[in-house]
A and B are shown apart, each in its own frame.
Chain A
Amino acid sequence: MVVIKSFLLLIWTYIFQTNLFNFILVVLFFVWAAKKFDFKSKLDAMHNKVIQIIEDAKQNKLNSEKALADAKDAVKNLQNDIDKINADAQQSAETISAKILDDANKQVKNIELNADKLIAAEEKQLVAGLVKEISKISVEKSKENITNMLRDNTELHEKYINESIDKLDGLAL
């Protein structure tokens, strides 16, 4: 019994005098901590996440390669397209220029024509106005002359009166 006790004491002393006990305690702590914080599942999640990142990167790479291929296709005929656009633009510009020039010429001709017409109308109106004025003056002058002639000329008055009486023949009374 004493021997057993001594043995146990020896072992106990050994344990305390070496790092074994500390080591066991540390292991136990890690076991406890692993259980407590579920390191495994977290590590699995991290592992999965890293895998997902890698997969995404691969997919991105594929997408980028595809985009690059599309871009290459797109720019393959770019020069031709640019040339065509330039040619079309040139054609349109020439057509529009020709039309503008044509319209301008027509407008100028119209303006000239209208101006001629306007001048002709103005001339006509002026002439008509002058004719009217001259006619009015002529009538006034004739009236004045006849009035002067009639002054103290009873015979002439009687002539007009007799003419008026004669005119009654042709009138319905």
Chain B
Amino acid sequence: MTNSKDNLIAKRYSDALLSLVRENNADVQNINSQLKSIKEVLVTSSDLSSFLSNPIISAEDKKDVVSKLLNDKVDVILINFIKLLIDKERFFAFEEISNIFDAEVDNLNNIQKVSVTSAIELNENLKNRLIEKLSYKLNKNIELVTNVDSDIIAGLIIKIDDNVIDMSLKHKFEEMKKQMIK
């Protein structure tokens, strides 16, 4: 998914899935969770991903495999949605559809995902303090995704959507170097 046309396609299918879930009074959170699980399976299993995206293999064969794999494991709405993507030859957009759907669900629930990188694992006290601060600043429920990277030396790098706030010690040293070179 690189161009805006593909993004537009993914957005339309994501909106359609959301409408379908609402019409059927299904649990949006549950569907989103199942969608993310399937995405993870596809990411880890390149064979399955290649099989479902292969244009030479017939749609019927693909749908048959999907049924066998997912029946009784995920919501029927989701199985039918994946079959629709196969019929419309839009399965290549599945990952992006999942991402957009996840963002839309978060938006519905007033959730903001925040990615935090630190040099050591954050303890619960620090996590809570950070969530509280971000929640107050953004007026949203914060879903924290933590990463550990010792290269940053100390401090935090916070990523909110496309906005990166680098408060790491590594960044400070780099800034100091730049100032001195000027």
Any A CB within 8 A of the CB of B51? no
* Cα A72 to Cα B117 with chains together (Å): 113
Which one of B137, B167, B168 lies within 8 Å of A173 (CB-CB)?
Answer: B137
Q: Which of A132, A147, A157 has the most CB of B within 10 A?
A: A157
- Give the interface residue-count category, chain A: 20 to 34
Any A CB within 8 A of the CB of B65? no
Which one of B129, B134, B155, B177 lies within 8 Å of A139 (CB-CB)?
Answer: B177
* Cα A160 to Cα B120 with chains together (Å): 11
Q: Which of A161, A163, A168 has the most CB of B within 10 A?
A: A161
* Cα A32 to Cα B74 with chains together (Å): 163
In the complex, the answer to whether A146 meets B167 with C-beta atoms within 8 Å is: no
Which one of B137, B173, B177, B181 lies within 8 Å of A168 (CB-CB)?
Answer: B137
* Chain B residues whose CB sits within 8 angstroms of the CB of A164 once the complex forms: 155-156, 158, 167-168
In the complex, the answer to whether A146 meets B154 with C-beta atoms within 8 Å is: yes
In the complex, the answer to whether B167 meets A167 with C-beta atoms within 8 Å is: yes
* Chain B residues whose CB sits within 8 angstroms of the CB of A169 once the complex forms: 133
CB within 8 Å for A160 and B169 given contacts A150-B153, A173-B137: yes
Any A CB within 8 A of the CB of B130? yes
> Which residue of A has the minimal Cβ distance to B122?
A161
Any A CB within 8 A of the CB of B108? no
In the complex, the answer to whether B126 meets A158 with C-beta atoms within 8 Å is: yes
CB within 8 Å for A150 and B154 given contacts A132-B180, A164-B167, A168-B134: yes
* Cα A158 to Cα B120 with chains together (Å): 9
* Chain A residues whose CB sits within 8 angstroms of the CB of B120 once the complex forms: 154, 157
CB within 8 Å for A162 and B153 given contacts A139-B173, A142-B173, A154-B120: no
In the complex, the answer to whether A156 meets B176 with C-beta atoms within 8 Å is: no
Any A CB within 8 A of the CB of B163? yes
Any B CB within 8 A of the CB of A136? yes
In the complex, the answer to whether A136 meets B177 with C-beta atoms within 8 Å is: yes
Any A CB within 8 A of the CB of B70? no
* Cα A156 to Cα B118 with chains together (Å): 13
> Which residue of B has the minimal Cβ distance to A154?
B120
* Chain A residues whose CB sits within 8 angstroms of the CB of B126 once the complex forms: 158, 161-162, 165
In the complex, the answer to whether B180 meets A157 with C-beta atoms within 8 Å is: no
* Chain B residues whose CB sits within 8 angstroms of the CB of A167 once the complex forms: 167
Contacting B at CB under 8 A, from A108-135, are: 131-132, 135
Contacting A at CB under 8 A, from B146-182, are: 153-156, 158, 160, 163, 165, 167-169, 173, 176-177, 180-181
Any B CB within 8 A of the CB of A171? yes
CB proximity of B141 to chain A, nearest CB, Å: 15
Which one of A150, A154, A168 lies within 8 Å of B133 (CB-CB)?
Answer: A168
Measured CB to CB, the residues of A under 8 A from B are: 131-132, 135-136, 139, 142-143, 146-147, 150, 154, 156-158, 160-165, 167-169, 171, 173
Measured CB to CB, the residues of B under 8 A from A are: 118-120, 122-123, 126, 129-130, 133-134, 137-138, 153-156, 158, 160, 163, 165, 167-169, 173, 176-177, 180-181
Interchain residue pairs with CB less than 8 A apart (5)? A136-B181, A154-B120, A157-B119, A160-B154, A161-B155
